[in-house]
């Protein structure tokens, strides 16, 4: 079935022109590639979003060469000139959030409201780092040697390769690109091939700014070819990656051959602990939003719900009812709470985890099924597993699906132990009205991000983000912490001599 008239109007707003192949930005020029791929709307497979070029190895090499020249020029720009560039990018993203958010929802499948919010937040990353362009203040010290002064400053690391995921195609890329440019680097960006339209739209905004030719490059292509060649290149000084643990480990192995700096955000298995003194309605709301927001396709999703026995039955009753009431639909339809998952491969993996959970003895209380909808897409109902234990694979492995598991515990101490019993360590949360429990949890949960009476998903742009264990490797992202990765420290010793 074709989209309804109201959906068609939104598609027309976001339409990049499906009959024209979208190009890569190579060494400052928009160029066709060695091949092209098609991008289809996961809400309606009959809707072709567009055709997108795939860069060649020679194009990647050429753009890396130009990036080094452009980086030296960009680093010499004054701070106000850099600040204006980043501010312009951020303001345009925020002013076009409706249009670009619709495009994002169309190609990735998240509800339009979430797409719009993502684009607006991406704009805020750029405006934040625009201000940081003017705050790059170093340190001074006196040497232990008489007559010697010390100047400590940060300088650009050089050419940064950015490899970003499909689940937040604009926001995650922006929180890497913005600080990279802020601190004087050149950027070579390889986005996920599943969401190329959002990548082209952001690149067009950046390319129009007052920047040196070749400072920013878009190289769309497969991870096996373009991605691998990029991370193996000795021309790259730093690699920022968000994606899976196996791919991250492969990148680290390649990068170490050139001693390339790496920053990686990878998997997660986040837990929300619900205590017996929790506000029940709040706990259910947080769990539903944390588990199923973005169709569960986010690294901060609440995939384990660790629930105290004293509140377990009442919580489960409301949780299941809430999951069953959630509206699954076309990403551009009003009222849609869960869009489709992003691809057939993702849907197949999700359904395989449903079967796995059942085989492990978990009870599927609701959902977890492929849905027949008016549009041909990758639709799946939100699923809740009950009677699970923390040693089940569905509670050990990242599923990246609209699925969550309830684990019953008998005490706060047991809850904390379960929360920490994972190879990952990105986010965790607790729902409680007990200040002592909240304080103890905040100090003892072994995750990079901890929330109290808030969802595990949702972070601010001006403070550090990252995890422990298999979730993260390298310096933190966002806020002032980003300077640790995107800059290198230079310590200068100065002996001015005696004035005459």
- Tens digits of residue pLDDT in 4-21: 545 555 555 455 455 688
User: Using the 8-state DSSP alphabet, how is residue 3 labeled?
Assistant: P
Q: Per the residue annotation, which of 108, 299, 333, 477 is the catalytic one?
A: 299
Contact criterion met (CB below 8 Å) for 5 and 330 = no
CA 437 to CA 414: how far, in whole Å?
Answer: 12
CA 335 to CA 326: how far, in whole Å?
Answer: 10
CA 106 to CA 125: how far, in whole Å?
Answer: 23
For the sheet containing 29-31, what is the strand order? 29-31, 24-26, 216-218, 186-190, 159-163, 238-242, 261-265, 472-473
SS3 476: coil
For the sheet containing 21-22, what is the strand order? 21-22, 44-54, 35-41
**Which segments of the chain have a pLDDT < 70?**
1-19
Angle between helix axes 196-207 and 79-95 (nearest 10 degrees) is 140
At residue 117's C-alpha, the angle toward residues 430 and 380, to 5°, is: 70
Confidence at residue 12, expressed as pLDDT on a 0 to 100 scale: 55
Q: Where are the alpha helices (DSSP H) in 326-426?
A: 344-359, 412-420
Contact criterion met (CB below 8 Å) for 188 and 230 = yes
Q: Per the residue annotation, which of 132, 265, 333, 398 is the catalytic one?
A: 265
CA 163 to CA 188: how far, in whole Å?
Answer: 9
* 407 beta partners: 306
Q: Where are the alpha helices (DSSP H) in 187-262?
A: 196-207, 228-232, 245-256
Q: Where are the alpha helices (DSSP H) in 257-308?
A: 280-292
The total number of residues written for the chain in this structure: 500
Q: Is 299 an active-site residue?
A: yes
In terms of DSSP bridges, do strands 487-495 and 148-156 run parallel, antiparallel, or are they unpaired? antiparallel
CA 421 to CA 431: how far, in whole Å?
Answer: 19
């Amino acid at each position: 079935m074709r989209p309804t008239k109201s959906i068609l109007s939104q598609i027309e707003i976001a339409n990049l022109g499906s009959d024209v192949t979208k190009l890569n930005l190579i060494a400052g020029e928009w160029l066709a590639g060695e091949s092209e791929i098609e991008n289809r709307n996961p809400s309606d497979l009959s809707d072709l979003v567009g055709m997108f070029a795939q860069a060649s190895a020679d194009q990647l090499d050429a753009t890396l060469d130009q990036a080094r020249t452009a980086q030296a020029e960009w680093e010499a720009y004054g701070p106000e000139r850099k600040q204006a560039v980043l501010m312009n990018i951020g303001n345009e993203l925020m002013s076009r959030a409706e249009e670009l958010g619709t495009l994002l929802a169309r190609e990735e499948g998240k509800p339009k409201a979430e797409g719009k919010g993502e684009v607006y937040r991406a704009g805020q990353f750029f405006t934040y780092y625009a201000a940081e362009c003017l705050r790059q203040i170093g340190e001074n010290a006196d040497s232990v040697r008489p007559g010697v002064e010390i100047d400590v400053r940060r300088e650009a690391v050089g050419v940064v390769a950015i490899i970003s995921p499909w689940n937040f195609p604009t926001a995650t890329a922006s929180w890497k690109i913005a600080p990279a440019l802020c601190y004087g680097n050149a950027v070579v960006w390889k986005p996920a091939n599943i969401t190329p339209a959002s990548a082209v739209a952001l690149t067009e905004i950046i390319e129009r700014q007052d920047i040196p030719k070749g400072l920013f490059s878009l190289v769309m292509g497969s991870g096996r070819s373009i991605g691998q060649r990029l991370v193996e290149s000795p021309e790259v000084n730093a690699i920022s990656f968000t994606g899976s643990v196996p791919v991250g480990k492969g990148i680290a192995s390649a990068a170490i051959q050139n001693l390339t700096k790496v920053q990686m955000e990878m998997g997660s298995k986040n837990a929300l602990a619900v205590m017996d003194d929790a506000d029940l309605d709040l706990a259910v709301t947080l769990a539903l939003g944390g588990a199923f927001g973005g169709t569960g396709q986010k690294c901060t999703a609440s995939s384990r719900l660790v629930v105290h026995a004293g509140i377990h039955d009442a919580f489960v009753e409301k949780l299941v009812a809430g999951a069953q009431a959630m509206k699954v639909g076309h990403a551009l339809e009003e009222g849609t709470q869960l869009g489709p998952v992003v691809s057939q491969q993702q849907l197949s993996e999700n359904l395989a985890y449903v079967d796995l959970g059942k085989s492990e003895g978990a009870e599927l209380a609701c959902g977890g099924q492929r849905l027949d909808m008016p549009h041909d897409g990758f639709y799946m109902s939100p699923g809740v597993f009950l009677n699970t234990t923390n040693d089940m694979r569905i509670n050990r492995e990242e599923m990246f699906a609209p699925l969550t598991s309830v684990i019953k515990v008998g005490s706060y101490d047991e809850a904390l132990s379960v929360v920490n019993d994972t190879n990952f360590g990105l986010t965790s949360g607790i729902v409680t009205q007990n200040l002592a429990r909240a304080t103890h949890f905040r100090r003892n949960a072994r995750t990079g991000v901890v929330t109290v009476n808030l969802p595990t998903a949702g972070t601010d742009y001006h403070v550090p983000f990252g995890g422990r264990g298999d979730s993260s490797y390298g310096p933190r992202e966002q806020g002032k912490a980003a300077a640790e990765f995107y800059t290198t420290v230079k310590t200068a010793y100065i002996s001015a001599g005696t004035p005459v």
